[in-house]
Chain A
Amino acid sequence: MKYEVIVVGGGHAGIEAAHATSKIGHETLLITGNIKNIGDMPCNPSIGGTSKGVIVREIDALGGLMGKIADRSTLQMKMLNGSKGPAVRCLRAQADKESYPRAMQETLLKLPNLTVMENIVEDIIVDDNKIGGVILKDGTKIECEVLILTTGTYLKSEILRGSEKISEGPHGEKRSDNLSDNLAKLGFKIIRLKTGTPPRIDAKSCDFSKMKEELGDEEKWHFSFDGDSTYDVHKQEKCYLIYTNKNTHNIIRENLSKSAMYGGYVSGIGPRYCPSIEDKIVKFADKEKHILFLEPQSMEVGSAYYDALYLQGFSTSMPVDVQEKMVHSLEGLENAKILEYAYAIEYDAIDPLQIMPSLESKLIEGLFTAGQINGTSGYEEAAGQGIVAGINASKKLRGFEPLILKRNESYIGVLIDDLVTKGTIEPYRMLTSRAEFRLILRHDNADLRLRNYGYECGLIDDDQKKKLDEKVAGIETLKNEIKKMKVSKEILEQYVENARTMSVEELMKRPDITKDVLFEVCPNLKDINGDVFEEVSIDVKYEGYIVKTYKDAEKLIKLESKQIPDDIDYGKVYNLASEARQKLEAIRPRTIAQASRISGVNPADISILAVYLRKEYGKNE
């Protein structure tokens, strides 16, 4: 048996990778521990959120699946940060944990070039530092030209509750016992990470009268650039907001040593940006309460997720008896029935400093990795890497240059660059604050930024491309039109002080003119395509800032073009601080810009390096 591509793992990274390679036309085999778990959401029942919502749209722009499937399984949807500025607006959907994976499986199983196999991979075949294939649990060998590992939390995973430790993956699934050890033998640096999930509560046992309702937006939203979402905006499910209290905190403090984390049963490092409740109590000791949300997981009657609410913010590794007490201390959950206890999970990942920006391994040619194995956390972060790994696996097979998304063109680019440049010691979660050019990395322009890449590699079809071109043309036309369209002084007098006749463009720039006012004074604008209008109004309103961001981005591009030769010997660069020398040696950045982002490499080191390059390699521009 030989495939062009083998993808190991059917999580969010594996799905996008396998979908990309098979859709482009490569014979692809997806190996997963349980076909029914493909597209499973083992943790929170939501897709998107701050910055992650932009990643979902970027995946969709490139031709991936996540946004489209989320649009078909939405329980509630919100636009976050509506008033905080256009750059940080993000969509978040509560997604149905039953219909999301099912829709995903249906889509994948229909793909012509994709074979799906239920099995566990325990080793990989490597010949002369090139990938040859995989070895299954029973010893069967399957050959491939390119391998994509998206093993999630399944490498030597251990579920922890108090002192209890079970060697399995989420949902009691089989883990891979040997793959990470075998990777270590090949020279991979293995890191141990930890994450966790909160308890699930029986909705029938909750007293919602004591909780604050959190509703979806009245405006209907969708992730995908290709079509609308299927949910009914008037029938969205509710989430509920509650707080921890002194009693909760006391219970946690009294039992701290019983938790797996604080009892010394965990060796992995957990995510700072998604801390367990005991972490929050310890680290923010003077905070009297912490916010929690109860979120629906599925509305499919008969599903195990139906009526089982996810208690967001309450992830813990306490033993079950303490969890009972903790949950019952919360207002509205005094009599709550816990359907599934919280747990922490430890797993192996590889040091992302050993991978290239294409997501191909530096050690083994033809081996790509994506998702939690690279040290990230989150469905969206995984899927974003998955589609890039898929695209680059295909480019590798066809002998093309890899797709390397830049920091100034996508969040996915920021994510991968951070990973391969800075490495990570905790599960990496995307944040808007990580993207220095976020004003031009908005959710609304993801298609303008990335769709052409998807088209070039065959994941975006002609119809989608046509739609994109129409949007681009529409924006251009409208930008010209609004310069010419005037609104008379008489009309404006009702809305602004010291009115005079103004062009629509001038009006759009004014902070006091809302979209509604614009539509009243200039009804023609109502006929404009909503996406086109939004794009133009952001561009016009924040023109100065946007232009400045593009200028800053240009500086980066200039530094990115200062290449560092592959054969550079850092031992010969005098005066480098020893920490900088070690880091540069280990990471071997491709450009001066990348080198300058390595922590521990100071501007002075960069100066020395730049001077050295100029001296040794002549013009390095």
Chain B
Amino acid sequence: MDDTICAISTAMGVGGISIIRISGDHAIPLVDKIFVGKDLTECASHTINYGHIVFEGQTIDEVLVSIMRAPRTYTAEDVVEINLHGGIATTNKVLEILLRIGCRLAEPGEFTKRAFLNGRIDLVKAEAVGEIINADNENARNLSINSLTGKLSDLIRSLKSRIVEIEAKIEVNVDYPEYEDIEDMTNEKVIDELVSVRDDVCKMLDESKTGKMITDGIRVALIGRPNVGKSSILNALLEEEKAIVTNIAGTTRDIVEGEMLLSGVKLKFIDTAGIRKTDDVVESIGVTKSLAQIEEADLVILVLSNSEELSDDEKEILTRLEDKKHIVFVNKNDLTRKMNISSKDVVYGNTVSIDGLDSLKEKIVEMFSIGDLPNRDFTYISNARQESLMKKVYEAIVRAIRGLGNSVPVDIVTLDLKDARILLGELLGEVYDDELIDTLFSNFCLGK
């Protein structure tokens, strides 16, 4: 039986402490083999026990061993955690010993996978675990915690049960047509009930934007023609916030030039590789390139020069920006004004005396309503899988409502309702889909 898994659960490196987690039917007796101290197999559940790891007569480390017996454990199996004195060599040595005496190295995410497979957590919670690990700010952490404690699952479950209730009423009608004393589910009645479900789904989708914003941040594109001051603005923003200036590939397909936190939300400046290049001699904004950036961004900051008139290219960009969240930053306000532009989202400033940047930030906070984030309840759909399924739920309900409005018989419409119900089940991982499960869990880091 090699079904007991183990992995190093703490980050690799020299630290004060590192933890190896072991889970499975044989976790306790296996660790007991190399533990000198109390008889672990006799220890009560949820206790911490002092002793030493000894293998082939050699004492490896002084340890604290936590014994957690099924089912109230992370994986819902017997779990042992060995607290070692930190150090790569010692930790690896103990792991190696565990593998030699019959443990198997856990696959990425396998502990969480087991918790899910053993029925302790649903899929939304399993995803939340992944998100907590990856959370890099307080808001993102709050959001994942709410998913993990089941708030989001409860919300989804309640939507599902409302649909089931409507379905059940229709089914009773269909199966007992001659019973005049049961409520007749006319198209109008079903529409009324569905509209309220639709509105709630719609609200969740709207809020999912906030959820995504919290976990993924806001992607900002700074555009404008060369020498208009883009790089000065970027540098000023990043410097002032002591932001992490990185040049690594982001989680998305674009290049993230720099990141900063604004009221707890990450601003990610995307595809700005060209911004700092000053040797660009072409005095054009480069419409094609700008359009591509606009496409990718959640927010576009168009930088214009106060001392020049609006060019044709800039005019075109402005039209393209109509349906997009954008701010126009008119730079060089110390120079004579030639720029004439009327829009409520205009900020004047200059990057020489670092003027106008606070207004710019305020504008962003206002535009994305992130000022009051800490006061919200953080029960949002927050990842692409959840969002795309929820969109499909929305579509199914809209189809049902439209059908009913076009006098499609109520029985036929149950197909759309069933769709919505199954999709909600899929959201919670209540529907069997092995491909999905495999990919999901392989996204977890090793040892969790």
A85: interface (CB < 8 Å): yes
B87: interface (CB < 8 Å): no
A510 — nearest CB in chain B belongs to which residue? B406
Top 9 A-B residue pairs of the complex, sorted by shortest distance between their CB atoms: A85-B411, A85-B409, A433-B171, A603-B432, A606-B432, A511-B407, A88-B174, A80-B177, A88-B411
Q: Chain B residues with Cβ under 8 A from A86's Cβ?
A: 409, 411-412
User: Which one of A83, A289, A512, A548 has the greatest number of beta carbons of chain B within 10 Å?
Assistant: A83
Is A548's CB under 8 angstroms from B415's CB? yes
Given the interface contacts A81-B411, A84-B173, A436-B418, does A607 sit within 8 Å of B181 by beta carbon?
Answer: no
Is B171's CB under 8 angstroms from A432's CB? yes
- Return the contact of A607 from the options B174, B408, B415, B437 (Cβ within 8 A): B437
Q: Mark B418-431, 1 if CB is under 8 A from A, else 0.
A: 10000000000111
What are 7 A-B residue pairs whose CB atoms fall within 8 Å in the complex?
A83-B409, A86-B411, A431-B171, A436-B418, A548-B415, A549-B415, A610-B432
Chain B contact residues, majority secondary structure: loop
Is B410's CB under 8 angstroms from A85's CB? yes
Is B432's CB under 8 angstroms from A84's CB? no
Q: Chain B residues with Cβ under 8 A from A438's Cβ?
A: 411
Is A577's CB under 8 angstroms from B411's CB? no
A312 — nearest CB in chain B belongs to which residue? B178
- Return the contact of B181 from the options A83, A290, A431 (Cβ within 8 A): A290
Q: Chain A residues with Cβ under 8 A from B175's Cβ?
A: 50-51, 273, 431-433
Q: Chain B residues with Cβ under 8 A from A50's Cβ?
A: 174-177
Q: Chain A residues with Cβ under 8 A from B39's Cβ?
A: none
Q: Chain A residues with Cβ under 8 A from B179's Cβ?
A: 291
B3: interface (CB < 8 Å): yes
**Whole-angstrom distance between the Cβ of A80 and the nearest chain B Cβ:** 5
Is A84's CB under 8 angstroms from B434's CB? no
Is A432's CB under 8 angstroms from B431's CB? no
B181 — nearest CB in chain A belongs to which residue? A291
Q: Mark B397-419, 1 if CB is under 8 A from A, else 0.
A: 00000000011111110010010
Is A87's CB under 8 angstroms from B412's CB? yes
Is B434's CB under 8 angstroms from A610's CB? yes
Not counting A84-B177, A545-B412, a sample of 18 additional A-B residue pairs whose C-beta atoms are within 8 angstroms of each other reads: A50-B177, A51-B175, A81-B411, A84-B410, A86-B412, A88-B411, A273-B175, A511-B408, A542-B408, A549-B415, A596-B432, A602-B119, A603-B429, A604-B118, A607-B117, A607-B434, A608-B117, A611-B434
Q: Chain B residues with Cβ under 8 A from A549's Cβ?
A: 415
B266: interface (CB < 8 Å): no
Is B412's CB under 8 angstroms from A289's CB? no
B35: interface (CB < 8 Å): no
Q: Chain A residues with Cβ under 8 A from B177's Cβ?
A: 50, 80-81, 84
A84 — nearest CB in chain B belongs to which residue? B411
Measured CB to CB, the residues of B under 8 A from A are 3, 114, 116-119, 171, 173-181, 406-412, 415, 418, 429-434, 437
Is B430's CB under 8 angstroms from A439's CB? no
> Could you tell me which residues of chain A, from 546 to 570, have a CB within 8 Å of some CB in chain B?
548-549
Q: Chain A residues with Cβ under 8 A from B3's Cβ?
A: 574-575
B1 — nearest CB in chain A belongs to which residue? A574
Q: Mark A238-280, 1 if CB is under 8 A from B, else 0.
A: 0001010000000000000000000000000000010000000
- Return the contact of A433 from the options B174, B415, B431 (Cβ within 8 A): B174
Q: Mark A55-96, 1 if CB is under 8 A from B, else 0.
A: 000000000000000000000000011011111100000000
**Whole-angstrom distance between the Cβ of A39 and the nearest chain B Cβ:** 25
In the complex, A614→B433 CA distance in Å? 14
User: Which one of A80, A81, A512 has the greatest number of beta carbons of chain B within 10 Å?
Assistant: A81
Is B117's CB under 8 angstroms from A84's CB? no
Q: Chain A residues with Cβ under 8 A from B181's Cβ?
A: 243, 287, 289-291
> Could you tell me which residues of chain A, from 572 to 621, have a CB within 8 Å of some CB in chain B?
574-575, 577, 596, 602-604, 606-608, 610-611
Q: Chain A residues with Cβ under 8 A from B411's Cβ?
A: 81, 84-88, 438
Is B409's CB under 8 angstroms from A575's CB? no
**Whole-angstrom distance between the Cβ of A592 and the nearest chain B Cβ:** 8
In the complex, A603→B433 CA distance in Å? 8
In the complex, A432→B409 CA distance in Å? 15
In the complex, A273→B175 CA distance in Å? 10
Is B116's CB under 8 angstroms from A84's CB? no
A575 — nearest CB in chain B belongs to which residue? B117
Q: Chain A residues with Cβ under 8 A from B116's Cβ?
A: 604
Is B412's CB under 8 angstroms from A604's CB? no
Is B117's CB under 8 angstroms from A511's CB? no
> Could you tell me which residues of chain A, from 277 to 304, have a CB within 8 Å of some CB in chain B?
287, 289-291, 293
Q: Chain B residues with Cβ under 8 A from A511's Cβ?
A: 406-408
In the complex, A610→B432 CA distance in Å? 10
Is A432's CB under 8 angstroms from B174's CB? yes
Q: Chain B residues with Cβ under 8 A from A214's Cβ?
A: 178
**Whole-angstrom distance between the Cβ of A581 and the nearest chain B Cβ:** 13
Q: Chain A residues with Cβ under 8 A from B406's Cβ?
A: 511
Q: Chain B residues with Cβ under 8 A from A87's Cβ?
A: 411-412
